[in-house]
Amino acid sequence: MRALRDSPICLEGIEAIDEGRRAAPGREVRRPYDFQEAYEVRAARTRGSWGTGPLGLAVRNFLSFARQMAGNPAAVIGGVVILLYVAVAIFAPWVAPCAPDQVALSERLAPPSWIGEFPLGTDQLGRDILSRIIYGARVSILVGVLTIAISVTVGVGLGVVAGYFRGSFDRIVSRFTDLLLAFPYLIFVIGAMAVLGPGFWNLIWALSFKGWVEFYRLARAEVMSEKTREYVEAARALGRSHAAIICSEILPNVVHSILVLGTLRMGNMIVLESSLSFLGLGIPPRIPAWGSMVNDGRRYMLTAWWVATLPGLALVGLVLAINLVGEALRDVLDPRLKEG
């Protein structure tokens, strides 16, 4: 089975890296450009900055990275927007004009008005939409961060071990990932939520249960290719232990790709969460979440368009910002994944 069944963003790049995949026998792995060279350049760069190099060099590398990111207007805009969302989510009780569950039946479906009490209008129960959107950011951001954190930890952990030691462990885990990849992501999560029932943690587990596979494949492929590099062989010859080699020689070289993929996938996770909440299978209705808010508004689309559209707009804004930053990270850190 092939890698990354439903990965909308940097698929072609990952597809190419994933040299370890067991595809149709003899399938050609597409190499967009010289991998060897890219690896060597990157190996040299990161070895200097993370491995044995002095602290000063690491700082300088970080500064150069920061300069490159700052020079990309899309990345700056995306970063600012993300910070805004995060700040609003953290300080929701202070920022939001009302409590998210404060019902005002007399003010049902009030339209947005800049001067009125409800800048973005109210929903069918008279709850302030702006406040609910602000509280909804908490759910989306938390789901994005937590699922990616779990997926990266599990995926990279297993991937490094499998790619470094190979053997039966690799074979078993890889078979299991093949099986998981046979399910479309959304179908898998919907099926899981159908069994588990709606709930914040249920959703996190359902999303992470499949989310780690991509990181596993990426880490495994990178480790398998890094392992053959001269500097790893040199470290082996010097008698360093496997653990030391993995931590100091191999992991630093994988970090960049993982960071890029993690950022790009975080947007996906947030979209998946709100899609499930939209279907009523994700976050329970009492917690304000963008997806379920859109669902609430469906019945009032003709009379009160703002109930269904505005929470979605907030969602698109956040996902767009995350994807902008993710693409900028990819361009700076991992040019191999770059398109075009």
Partner 1 sequence: MRRTHVQILERVLATIPIALGVAIAVFIFMRLMPGDPVDIMIGEAGGVTQEDIHALKTELGLDQSLPVQLGRYLAGLVRGDLGYSIPSSRPVAVVILEALPATMELALCSLLFALVIAVPIGVVSAVRQRSFIDRTSMAASFLGISMPAFWLGILGIIVFSLHLRWLPTSGRITYGFEPATITGLFTVDALLTGNMPALWDALKHLALPAATLGAGVAAVVARVVRSSMLEVLRADYVLFARAKGVVERAVTIRHALRNALIPTVTVVGLQVGTLLGGNMIVESIFGWPGLGRVVVDAIFSRDYPLVQAAVMVYALTFVVVNLATDVLYTYLNPKMTL
Q: How far is the CB of 65 from partner 1 (least distance, A)?
A: 23
The sign one gets for the Cα dihedral 47, 49, 50, 53 is positive
- Lay out the site mask for partner 1 across 260-289 (x = CB under 8 A, - = otherwise): -------x---x--xx--xxxx--------
323 lies in the site for partner 1, by CB under 8 A: yes
Query: What Rg, from alpha-carbon coordinates, does the chain have?
Result: 23
77 lies in the site for partner 1, by CB under 8 A: no
Binders of partner 1 among 84-123, rule CB under 8 A? none
Q: Which is nearer to partner 1, 250 or 294 (CB)?
A: 294
Helix axes 129-165, 305-333, angle to 10 degrees: 30
* 240, amino acid identity: R
Q: How far apart are CA 42 and CA 231, in angstroms?
A: 12
Number of residues that bind partner 1 (CB under 8 A): 61
Binders of partner 1 among 284-303, rule CB under 8 A? 291, 294, 297-298, 301-302
Q: How far is the CB of 151 from partner 1 (least distance, A)?
A: 17
- Residues whose CB is less than 8 angstroms from the CB of residue 243 and which lie 6 or more positions away in sequence, other chains included: none
Among the listed ranges 44-52, 79-87, 239-247, 317-325, the one in contact with partner 1 (CB under 8 A) is 317-325
Binders of partner 1 among 11-70, rule CB under 8 A? 11-12, 15, 23-28, 30, 32
- Lay out the site mask for partner 1 across 129-168 (x = CB under 8 A, - = otherwise): ----------------------------------------
Closest CA to 99 of 77, 68, 128: 128
Question: By 3-state DSSP, what share of the chain in percent is helix, strand and coil, each rounded to 5?
Answer: 70, 0, 30
Among the listed ranges 125-133, 156-164, 255-263, 311-319, the one in contact with partner 1 (CB under 8 A) is 311-319
Q: How far is the CB of 82 from partner 1 (least distance, A)?
A: 13
Q: Which is nearer to partner 1, 54 or 191 (CB)?
A: 191
| Residue of 5, 108, 166, 236 interacting with partner 1 (CB under 8 A) | 5
**DSSP assigned state of 304:** -
Q: How far apart are CA 211 and CA 152, in angstroms?
A: 8
Binders of partner 1 among 176-235, rule CB under 8 A? 178-179, 182-187, 190-196
Q: How far apart are CA 311 and CA 254, in angstroms?
A: 36
Burial call 254-287: b when 16+ CB within 10 Å, e when fewer: bebbbbbbbbbbbbbbbbbbbbbbbeebbbeeeb
Q: How far apart are CA 24 and CA 3, in angstroms?
A: 12
Binding site for partner 1 (CB under 8 A): 1-2, 4-9, 11-12, 15, 23-28, 30, 32, 178-179, 182-187, 190-196, 267, 271, 274-275, 278-281, 291, 294, 297-298, 301-302, 305, 308-309, 312-313, 315-316, 319-320, 323, 327, 339-340
